[in-house]
Amino acid sequence: MAKQVINVQNVTKSVSIDGNKQTLEILHGISLTANAGEFLSIIGPSGSGKSTLLNAMSGLSKPTSGQVNILNIDPYQLKPAKAAIFRRTQIGFIFQSYNLVPALPAFDNIVLPLRLSHRKVNKSKIYKLLKELNFEANPNNFVSDLSGGEQQKIAIARVLVANSKVIFADEPTGALDTVSRKIIFNLLRKLTDQGVCVVMVTHDIEMASATDKAITLRDGRLEKVIEKPTADALFQALNEEGS
């Protein structure tokens, strides 16, 4: 039986608007689960709440109500120091904004989580990974000197070397060309074969159709859970009128 590693129950998320006089509910009672070794994609129109859901379910942004459980731990119940260690050692994040440190060279950005956790840095393994990622710049260059696509590869490499049990990826291939997108997807797929759970927000129907399970969002509501999704099933789900 597959081991459940993520359990999200009745999660809502509201934000204050109009100078805090009103609140706007962005997520409406979302429940979902994901298992070890499972590749889950979250897909939906712009503004449907995909990134908000990812941040809530990954421990980055506390839901207004509902429960989040990752690896049998509620990350929002941890004290800040323990939460930071939990995220650094168990969870990987690939952000749309890359979240790199401009003052550090590319290589040092990759190994930063390892050094913070006092883990061994295997240089040859990292250079091999950069070659697999088709990274063409000098790893000793500062990230601020790299193109958006090369910065994204550094952000992805940083996650891949950390041996996380769960990876949350927000549009991980958005800045990349077609060849690089396929390389990244295949590397993430290889991790799921090793038991890692990957949760990916994407607008790419073709990529989502190659995951194990897809959920479609519309207006902050979970509309469908599609096991072994196909491009046709996803296209149909995304183009149905919301009820």
Mean pLDDT by 10 residues, the chain (243 residues): 92 88 92 97 94 95 96 96 91 89 93 88 93 92 91 92 93 84 91 96 93 96 96 92 50
Residue 117's pLDDT is what? 84
pLDDT of residue 178: 87
CATH of 37-50+80-238, one of 3.30.530.20, 3.40.190.10, 2.160.10.10, 3.40.50.300: 3.40.50.300
CA-based nearest residue to 135, from 112, 152, 111 = 152
pTM recorded for the entire structure: 0.91
pLDDT the model gives residue 200: 96
Provide the residue type at 53 as one letter.
L
The pLDDT of residue 241 is 57
Domain residue extents for the chain: 37-50+80-238
State the Cα–Cα distance between residues 91 and 85, nearest whole angstrom.
10
The rounded distance, in Å, linking the Cα atoms of 186 and 129 is 13
pLDDT at 132: 92
